[in-house]
Amino acid sequence: MSYLSKADMIHPPAVRALLAFAFALMLAGCGREAPKPSDVITVRIGAASPLTGPQAHIGIDIRNGVQLAIEDANAANPEIGGKKVKFELIAEDDEANPTKATTVAQKLVDSKVAAVVGHFNSGASIPASKIYSDAGIPQISPSSTNPKYTQQGFKTAFRVVAHDDQQGPTLGKFAIEKLKARTIAVIDDSTAYGQGLADAFEATVKAGGAKVVAREHTTDKDTDFKAILTRIRGRKPELVMFGGIDPQAGPMVKQMAELGMKAKFMGGDGMQTPNFIKLAGGAAEGVMASIPGLPKDQMPGGRSFLDRYKAKFKSEVELFAPMGYDAVMVFIDAMKRAGSTDPAKFLPEVGKTRYQGVIGPIAFDSKGDLVNGPITVYVVKGGKWEALETVTPGAAPAAAADGTKK
Amino acid sequence: MDIFLQQIVNGLVQGSIYALVALGYTMVYGILGLINFAHGDICMIGALTALTVAQVLASMGLPAPLVLALAALAAVAVCCGLGVSIERAAYRPLRRAPRLAPLITAIGVSVLLQYSAALVWGKQYLSMPELVKPSDIEMGGIHLTDLQAFIFLLACAVMAALLWFIRSTRAGRAMRATEQNPDVAGLMGVNVNHVIAVTFLVGSAVGAIAGMMVVLYYGIGHYFMGFMLGLKAFTAAVLGGIGNVAGAMVGGMLLGVVESLAAGYIGDLTGGVLGSNYRDIFAFLVLVLVLVFRPSGLLGERVADRT
């Protein structure tokens, strides 16, 4: 079900309320039918990501990762606290929309999920985390990198990626130390993710002595950037950094080439996708982007995961499927240690996780952030993303960024 | 200075696309008094059709000019058929209904087209194969690709052809008669249904070309691209005087240039308080000013309300 704002206009609220009520009844019905004659307990795992809209390819990727994990777990006939359990996936579409995300979160809570993997966008994870926290349901975001997500004091919010206060400064350090860029232009897409990343980057390069000659903003719906790029061209930067996602980054790089701009281009994980290279065409060559985690095929469980994913879903892993997969496994691991599938019982165990996942060792700090999440910078070479350098941030870069934000 | 000129050039190219789409809005409004909100989505269907045909033919290894010509032909054919059938199925039965009914139907058709396209093409961004690498034309620091120049010239040519069609042909005269009063035109022997069908046919064909220009220029298309395009083009049509064909052209170009300049200079003008993401404020500010001081648009004429 996907209502867009325009479609909303033609559904009178009463009709929608009725629909919602009917749907709630259906769900309630499902819930009552669930217990089977056997003594197998069904444990529901929620997955929330954009399954429709411009970011659907990334959201579906996450859902596929979660689905694969659940199938793997069920195949091992799991037992928790001496009882046989069966895991069940409930996947919801948040449309990358913060408002829809809270609706979806409530829906998952109402359908009594034990844990949630999601959401994809920081802008969706942050408002939804309040609802999961109130319900006491643990949430692991596979991909939301805005620092605020874990800084709200919710005991239920975790993530298995490095956050922007780590990613932004790493990119910034890379720009200054490796690329030796002295004049830099920064663009963001006005989303929580894009702006957070761009702010952290800007603070680091300024602290490193580079000059930010232009700071521009666009939106996550635009495809025409000629005007802001022309302005940036006038300031003659050596490097352009973009905080945003591939549907914008692709045309942006193309239009830079059309305007005769020679500046280098770099960005974060939102544009480190095969789709970016398709969208940017020949102009993608030489573009750099960082991504939290190790290179896909250098992950400890990487190669075999990629092969199994491809065999099952007939497509390449886009971005965050391994994180979605590991998030489920972390939950199940915590349930096993607690000997219970009750969120109230196994939630404390999630925080104590020491798990060897597809993406590498997983452990959380007191806020729920991934400890020592590595970040890798990639470059497009011959029409493919190639790993350039892996950096493990530790605490230092984040501190540097904080120190300059006055 | 060269930055200023570059912004004008950027704006004119963007404006040409708005103008082509705006023609479809303004023609239908002139004849029926109906704002065809589905027009932006017809352009989207044209764009995605051209994109798919180009992808398939290019993978078969046909030469680029042939691929483009066939893609354009397919887009125009699909959109013409679509435009005429929508008129026949959705708007004609409501022609004597109160004004609100066809307007709401138009919104319904727009949503229907969007989600049909989502079913056919999926919801991802699709990329147009790079058939011809646009070559750069540089003049005094201003960069322009031959594709951009082509889009601008094409828009001017389509516009001139339409003006000629409406002013100098028999079908054009019938259109003008229908615009003034459909009932009397009917009494004078004009086949009003036929004229309206032709209007939708021509508008959709121009829309298909506009859609194809968008995917050629930006290299990407998706099922929702018609919404914003339609909204901007509708604004352009109102700006120029809705119902006036030359006005659509002027409005489109003006909107493109205002947007481009706003995005380029808004940061400097407001001392960094507003960023370039607020450029739409300027575009719509111009619209509000025009509507306050010239309610019928820049080139629009005062007409008595026809009910």
Chain A residues in contact with B275 (beta carbon < 8 A) = 215-217
Question: A2, A52 in Cβ contact below 8 A?
Answer: yes
Interface contact flag, A6 B11, Cβ < 8 Å:
no
DSSP code at position B87: I
Q: Which pLDDT does position A288 carry in this prediction?
A: 95
Structural class in CATH, domain A34-161+299-362: alpha beta
- Give B 217-276 residues with CB within 8 A of chain A: 218-220, 222, 224-225, 227-228, 259-265, 267, 275-276
Question: B34, B103 in Cβ contact below 8 A?
Answer: yes
Looking at CATH, the fold of the domain delimited by B2-293 is given as ABC transporter involved in vitamin B12 uptake, BtuC (1.10.3470)
| Three-state secondary structure string covering B18-80 | HHHHHHHHHHHHHHHCCCCCCHHHHHHHHHHHHHHHHHHHHHCCCCHHHHHHHHHHHHHHHHH
Q: How many CB atoms lie within 10 A of CB B257?
A: 18
Cβ-Cβ contacts under 8 Å between A and B: the total is 111
pLDDT band at B82 (very low <50, low <70, confident <90, very high): very high
Among A55, A222, A231, the residue to mutate for chain B (most B Cβ within 10 A) = A231
- Element (DSSP H or E) covering residue A362: strand A360-362
Question: B79, B42 in Cβ contact below 8 A?
Answer: yes
Interface contact flag, A228 B263, Cβ < 8 Å:
yes
Domain ranges of chain B: 2-293
pTM of the model: 0.74
Cis before A119 (ω within 30): yes
Closest CB to B227: pick one of A6, A217, A278: A6
- Give CATH 3.40.50.2300 domain extents, chain A: 34-161+299-362, 164-292+374-404
pLDDT band at A9 (very low <50, low <70, confident <90, very high): very low
Q: Which pLDDT does position A10 carry in this prediction?
A: 43
Give the list of residues 6+ apart from residue A123 with CB closer than 8 angstroms, or none: A96, A98, A101, A146, A191, A192, A193
pLDDT band at A128 (very low <50, low <70, confident <90, very high): very high
Chain B residues in contact with A247 (beta carbon < 8 A) = 125, 220, 222
- Residue A382 class from Cβ within 10 Å (0-12 exposed, 13-18 middle, 19+ buried)? exposed
Chain B residues in contact with A54 (beta carbon < 8 A) = 123-125, 222, 224
**What confidence tens digit (pLDDT) does each residue in A252-273 have?**
999 999 888 999 999 998 899 8
ipTM of the complex: 0.82
Range A164-292+374-404 has CATH code 3.40.50.1220 = no
From the DSSP assignment, how many helices (H) and strands (E) are in chain A?
A: 14, 15
Q: Chain A within 8 Å of B124 (Cβ-Cβ)?
A: yes
Q: Which pLDDT does position B301 carry in this prediction?
A: 65
Question: B26, B237 in Cβ contact below 8 A?
Answer: yes
Mean pLDDT of A330-343: 93
Average pLDDT, rounded, for chain A: 85
Give the Cα separation of B114 and B45 in Å (integer).
9
Chain A residues in contact with B225 (beta carbon < 8 A) = 223
**What confidence tens digit (pLDDT) does each residue in B157-196 have?**
999 999 999 999 999 999 999 988 889 999 999 999 999 9
Give the Cα separation of B127 and A280 in Å (integer).
9
Poorest-pLDDT segment among A70-79, A201-210, A362-371, B136-145 = B136-145
